[in-house]
């Protein structure tokens, strides 16, 4: 199964459901992948995107600290499946040269990837199954989170699909 590298393009609220959406973008094309996430996970992602320091470690910071003490490095995270409108992900850890995979919700995996500067991948199967959309209407000067939010708001809900955690 081919894995394609994605990056976080933005984080926004779904105007219909008031649920947070993480928007991933293919690093080599305009393909966008919206993933609906929980409010707490969105907050964890937003804190890291905005480089906000918290007085005490949040859950994903704690995981990063624990992995560091155990001499385990996150090598990548992969959004591996889309079943019944639910995305699945795996966290790949290098522990003393041995690769270990851990099942995860994509939102948690993304929050951890941001904290560990690890790459985010999506399998080609997930991209095919999902209602991924092309951002060809977004030029370089229209790539702010606000512009993306407006662009996504103008799409029909059927164009994006609705995904549960």
Domain extents in the chain:
3-160
Task: Give per-residue pLDDT as tens, 77-132.
Answer: 999 999 988 999 999 999 999 999 999 999 999 999 999 999 999 999 999 888 54
- CB-CB contact of 20 with 13 (8 Å): yes
- Look at residue 140 and tell me whether its pLDDT is greater than 50: no
Q: How confident is the model at residue 147 (pLDDT cuts 50, 70, 90)?
A: low
Which of 3.30.1550.10, 3.10.690.10, 3.40.1350.10, 3.40.50.2300 would CATH assign to domain 3-160? Answer: 3.10.690.10
pLDDT for res 129: 86
Average pLDDT over residues 51-60: 90
pLDDT for res 107: 95
Write down the number of H helices and E strands in the chain: 6, 8
Q: How confident is the model at residue 136 (pLDDT cuts 50, 70, 90)?
A: very low
Phi-psi region of 136 (alpha: psi -120 to 50; beta: other; left: phi over 0): alpha
Task: Give per-residue pLDDT as tens, 21-36.
Answer: 999 999 999 889 999 9
Q: Rg of the chain's alpha carbons, rounded to an integer? A: 16
Q: DSSP letter for 52, please.
A: P
Q: How confident is the model at residue 152 (pLDDT cuts 50, 70, 90)?
A: low
For the ranges 11-15, 39-43, 118-122, 150-154, the lowest mean pLDDT is seen at 150-154
Global pTM reads 0.78
More confident residue, 154 or 57: 57
- CB-CB contact of 60 with 111 (8 Å): yes
- Rounded to an integer, what distance in angstroms lies between the CA atom of residue 41 and that of residue 45? 6
Give backbone dihedrals phi and psi of 19, rounded to 5 degrees, phi first: -100, 145
pLDDT for res 22: 94
∠73-74-80 over CA atoms, to 5°?
155
- Look at residue 159 and tell me whether its pLDDT is greater than 80: no
- Rounded to an integer, what distance in angstroms lies between the CA atom of residue 97 and that of residue 94? 6
């Amino acid at each position: 199964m081919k894995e394609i590298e994605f990056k976080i393009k933005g984080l926004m609220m779904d105007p219909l459901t008031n649920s947070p959406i993480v928007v991933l973008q293919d690093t080599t094309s305009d393909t966008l992948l919206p993933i609906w996430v929980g409010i707490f996970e969105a907050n964890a992602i937003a804190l890291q995107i905005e480089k906000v320091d918290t007085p005490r470690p949040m859950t994903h910071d704690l995981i990063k600290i624990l992995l560091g003490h155990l001499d385990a490095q996150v090598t990548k995270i992969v959004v591996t499946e889309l079943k019944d409108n639910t995305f699945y992900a795996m966290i790949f850890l290098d522990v003393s040269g041995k690769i270990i995979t851990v099942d995860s919700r994509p939102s948690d995996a993304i929050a951890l990837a941001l904290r560990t500067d690890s790459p985010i991948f999506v399998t080609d199967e997930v991209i095919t199954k999902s209602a991924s959309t092309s951002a060809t209407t977004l030029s370089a000067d229209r790539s702010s989170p606000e512009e993306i939010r407006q662009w996504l708001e103008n799409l029909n809900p059927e164009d994006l699909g609705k995904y549960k955690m």
